[in-house]
Amino acid sequence: MEDIRNELDKLEEYLKIKPLYWDFDKGEFVWIDTRLIPWKELYRSTKDYHRVAQAIKEMEIRGAPAIGVSAAYGLALATIYSNASKVDDLLKDVKEAYNVLASTRPTAYNLFWALNRLWNVILSNYEKNDLEDIKQNVLNEAHRVYIEDIKNNVNMGKYGSKIIENNSRIITHCNTGALATAGFGTALGVIRYAFYEGKSIHVYADETRPLLQGARLTIWELKKEGIPSTLVVDGASGLLFSKNMADLAIVGADRITLTGHVANKIGTFNLALAANYHKKPFYVAAPTSTVHPTENPNDIVIEERSQDEVTNIMGKLNITVDGTEAFNPAFDITPPEIVEGIITEKGIVKKPYLNNFKALLYGRQ
């Protein structure tokens, strides 16, 4: 445990914004409630995996990497606080928690990747028949998921900053910063890293309807970092590119297939089309834990959320006629043909994505 805490200490320099973490003294999971930003910065905590599942489902915690890390800690909580006296009973408790957590957000692949990773730790230690050893190993694995996410984000920043020239003007969509990860960020992490290198940049942040993650969260992060930024409506990208006010777009992802199909916040496809029409590069930044090892984009499940998110603003103001029906898909899928490159912690993947992802992930084509 000491080596894990030492490694965490070394990463503190990258955590100017700390969206979630493990409280070693209290033995509980802590996160910032992103629904309340920018009006309030409120941290919540729990020892109950049901509460973690609720936080993911209700978007107190959001962003695929953050969901994955939180699910890992949720499963760890279920493991270490189980009252089971036998390993078989522990497995039953943890499997129940697995199912609860897995049911929260269907599109974010990091969720399932993290849950399977911890579940495999339990199975690999099953024969030891040592409850306390299993519990400690599962918690340690959750810590590793957390640590790796931060490291991966920083490495994405190093690779991705190479595509950002000095004086670049960048459009981004939704929130892909520290608040969407264990810390630092994916697409916004790339932008952040370029800024740290001393490059002069300007960010156009889409407001990102209906929950305004761009207006509320991305601008909040950019202001904290002092990165020059402008908030724009979601439909502004075509105009920005046509007037030569923007040079490229960088977004995150909730799920990517081996073929390079990218599921991300609704409106991403529109941004990619605008960039492609104006011959501007459209990049995606995501860790390899977001890559779903399938060649079939139809395997991507698109989450549909409540109509109420569309018909009112953050539950505060109705904006349409009572009884109006609304369609609220949380994500869309951008085809690989219009994606310039996918920035990962292992490098930038280019077309043909199927061959290059197989080479990157499995060492073969």
Over residues 261-300, the pLDDT tens digits come to 999 999 999 999 999 999 999 999 999 999 999 999 999 9
In this structure, of 8-12, 82-86, 107-111, 186-190, the range with the lowest mean pLDDT score is: 8-12
- Alpha-carbon distance of 105 to 53, in angstroms, equals 9
CATH code of domain 158-362: 3.40.50.10470
Q: What is the CA radius of gyration of the chain?
A: 20
Confidence of residue 323 (pLDDT cuts 50, 70, 90): very high
Q: Give me the percent of the chain exceeding a pLDDT of 70.
A: 99
Any known ligand binding at 175? Answer: no
Lookup result for tokens 């197989």: 358
Residues tagged active-site: 254
Q: How large is the average pLDDT for residues 200-204?
A: 98
Looking at residue 112, what is its pLDDT? 98
Q: What's the longest Cα–Cα distance across the chain?
A: 67
Any known ligand binding at 26? Answer: no
Looking at residue 276, what is its pLDDT? 98
Over residues 324-336, the pLDDT tens digits come to 999 999 999 999 9
Q: How large is the average pLDDT for residues 146-153?
A: 98
Q: How large is the average pLDDT for residues 243-269?
A: 98
Confidence of residue 364 (pLDDT cuts 50, 70, 90): low
pTM (2 d.p.): 0.96
Q: Is 170 helix (H, G, I), strand (E, B) or coil?
A: strand
Confidence of residue 365 (pLDDT cuts 50, 70, 90): low
How many residues are listed for the chain in this entry? 365
In this structure, of 8-12, 21-25, 310-314, 357-361, the range with the lowest mean pLDDT score is: 8-12
C-beta separation of 66 from 179 below 8 A = yes
Do 2-154 and 158-362 have matching folds? Answer: no
Token pair belonging to 325: 């029906």
Q: Residue ranges of the domains in the chain?
A: 2-154, 158-362
Angle between helices 64-80 and 109-124 (to 10 degrees): 30
Any known ligand binding at 365? Answer: no
Q: Is 120 helix (H, G, I), strand (E, B) or coil?
A: helix
Given a cut of 70, is residue 235 above it in pLDDT? yes
Looking at residue 363, what is its pLDDT? 86
Given a cut of 80, is residue 156 above it in pLDDT? yes
Cα three-residue angle 126-131-132, rounded to 5 degrees: 125
C-beta separation of 45 from 61 below 8 A = no
Any known ligand binding at 105? Answer: yes
5-13 long-range contacts, CB within 8 A, separation 24+: 7/147, 8/143, 8/147, 11/147, 11/150, 11/151, 11/183
Any known ligand binding at 264? Answer: yes
Contacts of 202 by beta carbon, 8 Å cutoff, 6+ apart: 168, 169, 170, 228, 229, 230
Mean pLDDT (the chain, rounded): 97
Confidence of residue 9 (pLDDT cuts 50, 70, 90): confident
Over residues 27-45, the pLDDT tens digits come to 999 999 999 999 999 999 9
Given a cut of 90, is residue 337 above it in pLDDT? yes
Any known ligand binding at 213? Answer: yes
Q: Is 292 helix (H, G, I), strand (E, B) or coil?
A: strand
Q: How large is the average pLDDT for residues 181-191?
A: 98
Over residues 69-100, the pLDDT tens digits come to 999 999 999 999 999 999 999 999 999 999 99
Confidence of residue 159 (pLDDT cuts 50, 70, 90): very high
CATH superfamily label, 2-154: translation initiation factor eif-2b, domain 1 (1.20.120.420)
- Alpha-carbon distance of 352 to 342, in angstroms, equals 11
Looking at residue 49, what is its pLDDT? 98
| 215 φψ region: left (φ > 0), alpha (ψ -120 to 50), beta (else) | alpha
Given a cut of 80, is residue 2 above it in pLDDT? no
> Within 13 A of 197's CA, how many CA atoms are on the CB side?
20
Given a cut of 70, is residue 123 above it in pLDDT? yes
Any known ligand binding at 307? Answer: no
Looking at residue 4, what is its pLDDT? 86
Confidence of residue 189 (pLDDT cuts 50, 70, 90): very high
Confidence of residue 358 (pLDDT cuts 50, 70, 90): very high
